[in-house]
Amino acid sequence: MGHGWEGVVLKLMRGKDFAFTVSGVEQVTERFRRVHFTDGGMLAQTGVHPTMWVRVWFDNGDKPHQRAYTLVDPDSEAGTFSIEFALHDGRASDWARSAKVGDRVDATLQGTGFTAPAPLPKRLFVIGDPASLPAINSLLDALPDTPATIWFETGDVVEEELPLRLHADRHELRRVPRKERGAHLVAQVKESLPELIDDPSGAYVWVACDTATTRSLSSYLRKELALPKDRIHTLGYWRAA
């Protein structure tokens, strides 16, 4: 399968291509499906880091179609990992619904990276939604001894069942219903976050929501709370229709 102009651009940006093979599938909820893969030798070449992601290519007629996904439980020695798909309308979700052992997909590794905050914060602040769930879990796993407060936006009861990797002794989960195209989440964070941060230079806030919500929170963290750039990580994961 050709990757079109996007594939050419990724190649120019030193993207590395691999082929993944499905080794198993697991239906987590009615709208959340986990697909297990062997990695085609990728992890042995690249190593593993928290929130690591790849661009996976899907057939879409004669047009290449790629989406970025966080690796779940990557194991460089075994050469395995999983990808979790939030099922909705779209080519990637259609592929995940019908995926079976032995199926293969192409993928490109480009642009991924993670640097742990230094010094480590006394408390980690995480703001996300079902699209960023795998990355949230990866981040919590990477900082196992760091307490965290997590604002998790959900659209309905089904999304409230999604498996966050929480430890009751150090993780506080604040579920926020999605309202007003993300504005309700922004308001909830603005209401409660300032009183939780006693030292802006030592805080660390990680945000991955829809693009508009992420942009709004990023501006708030920088301009109103005056958090240093290296104590903020923000990335828009999807665009609200």
Q: What is the CATH number of the domain that holds 131?
A: 3.40.50.80
Residue 125's pLDDT is 98
Task: Tell me what pLDDT residue 113 has.
Answer: 77
83 and 177 inside one domain = no
Distance of CA 53 to the CA centre of its chain: 8
Q: Which structural domain range is residue 19 located in?
A: 4-109
In a domain? residue 115? no
Name the stretches of the chain with pLDDT < 70: 1-14, 111
Residue 12: predicted pLDDT: 46
Domain count, the chain: 2
Q: Cα separation of 128 and 150, whole Å? A: 8
Domain boundary among the residues 109, 142, 169 is at 109
- pLDDT tens sequence across 52-100: 999 999 988 778 788 999 999 999 999 999 999 989 888 999 999 999 9
Contacts of residues 94-97 at CB distance under 8 Å and 24 or more positions apart, as own/partner, are: 95/58, 95/59, 96/33, 96/35, 97/33
Sign, CA torsion 208/210/211/214: negative
Is residue 241 domain-resident? Answer: no
Q: Which CATH number do you get for residue 15?
A: 2.40.30.10
User: Is the CB of residue 101 less than 8 Å from the CB of residue 22?
Assistant: yes
User: Nearest-5° angle of CA 95, CA 72, CA 146?
Assistant: 150
* Residue whose C-alpha is closest to residue 234's, from 219, 25, 153, 101: 219
Q: Letter for the amino acid at 177? A: P
Position 240 scores a pLDDT of: 81
Q: Which residues contact 138 (CB under 8 A, 6 or more apart)?
A: 50, 51, 52, 70, 71, 72
Radius of gyration of the chain (CA): 18
At which of 75, 109, 143 does a domain end? 109
pLDDT at 4: 65
Give Cα separations from 197 to 149, 189, 194, 221 (angstroms): 11, 12, 5, 11
pLDDT of residue 7: 55
User: What pLDDT was estimated at residue 61?
Assistant: 76
Pick from 168, 136, 141: nearest CA to 153: 136
Q: What is the structure's pLDDT at 237?
A: 87
Pair (128, 219) in one structural domain: yes
User: Residues 139, 51: contact at Cβ < 8 Å?
Assistant: yes
- Whole-model pTM: value is 0.90
**157 occurs within a structural domain:** yes
Q: Are 227 and 196 in contact (CB under 8 A)?
A: no
**Judgement on whether residues 159 and 200 belong to the same structural domain of the protein:** yes
Distance CA 187, CA 152 (A): 13
